Amino acid sequence: MTDDTKTIAFVVYPGMTPLDMVGPLTVLDGMASTAQEYRTVVVGETKDAVTTDNPLRLVPTHTYDEVPSPYALLVPGGAAPTLKALADEKLVGYLRSAGANAELVTSVCTGSLLLGEAGLLKGRKAATHWMFRELLGAFGAEPVAERWVEDGNVITAAGVSAGIDLALHLVERLVGAEIARTIQFVIEYDPEPPQGPLDWSKRPYGDLKPLLEHTLNEALADEPALRDRLLAHTGK
């Protein structure tokens, strides 16, 4: 590592969805093995293993304090634990300070809500998981229903698996299409969803507003001010 090293920091926190991070990490670490001015790190409040929303736990390589000024930031999402994390001052404070100076600020799924709480989405187009899209309005962002959306140096992806598409785009943006294509071959990313692409006419869960209200009420019972701020943005 030299002074010119460009550090891509993948942020972890309790209860997150690990695929949000592991997909992009695999792609961008592949880039770092070719374009050696880059390196990837996994950043947590401490170096203790963090829980996820499945039985797997993930071990950070660095603490927030050790990576104050990354070149790029990627924040994964999740369901209720990510809403709870909006009240995590250390996490949101790290995103605010690291994000203010980063060349690239990115998120997957509801990670964009965390960027929003850190003040990084004001007046920007942003994506998130489809179930939580309306909440983006609470942070002054303009919600868009895209696989990923680029607004200046802030690039946010849709839910969970969209992080892989986002990351391949980042590789293309940073080092070009040829390396991005090689990485796509290395991870054999040639998707064949057994039931085909999503057919939105078959979307589950019906009306999202009551579901979102229920989730906010459960997740943020101890944070009434935050809860009420978000409850004002649950759609029509």
SS3 148: strand
**Site for a copy of itself contains 181 (CB under 8 A):** yes
Is 109 among the catalytic positions? yes
Count of residues that bind a copy of itself according to CB under 8 A? 55
- The binder of a copy of itself chosen from 11, 13, 17, 38 (CB under 8 A): 17
- Half-sphere CA count of 90, side-chain side, radius 13 A: 11
With beta carbons less than 8 A apart as the criterion, state whether 45 and 59 touch. no
Q: What angle do CA 45, 174, 183 make, to 5 degrees?
A: 85
User: Binding residue for a copy of itself (CB under 8 A) from 14, 18, 44, 70?
Assistant: 18
Residues 73-92: x/- map of binding to a copy of itself (CB under 8 A)?
A: --------------------
Choosing from 27, 50, 109, 167, the catalytic residue is 109
C-beta of residue 31 within 8 angstroms of C-beta of residue 51: no
Assess 188 for contact with a copy of itself (CB under 8 A).
yes
The verdict on 175 binding a copy of itself (CB under 8 A) reads: no
Two tokens at 187? Answer: 């991870």
Question: In this structure, what DSSP letter does residue 110 have?
Answer: T
**Considering the rule CB under 8 A, would residue 58 count as an interface residue with a copy of itself?**
yes
Distance CA 74, CA 115 (A): 10
Contact between 230 and a copy of itself by CB under 8 A: the answer reads no
User: Residue 127 carries which side chain, given as an amino acid letter?
Assistant: A
Type of residue at 191 = P
Query: Count of CB atoms within 10 A of residue 231's CB?
Result: 16
201 part of the interface to a copy of itself, by CB under 8 A: no
Residue numbers of the site for a copy of itself (CB under 8 A)? 17-19, 22-23, 25-26, 29, 40-42, 49, 53-59, 61, 109, 129-130, 147, 158-162, 164-165, 168-169, 172, 177, 180-182, 184-195, 197-198, 202-204
Where in the sequence numbering do the catalytic residues fall? 109
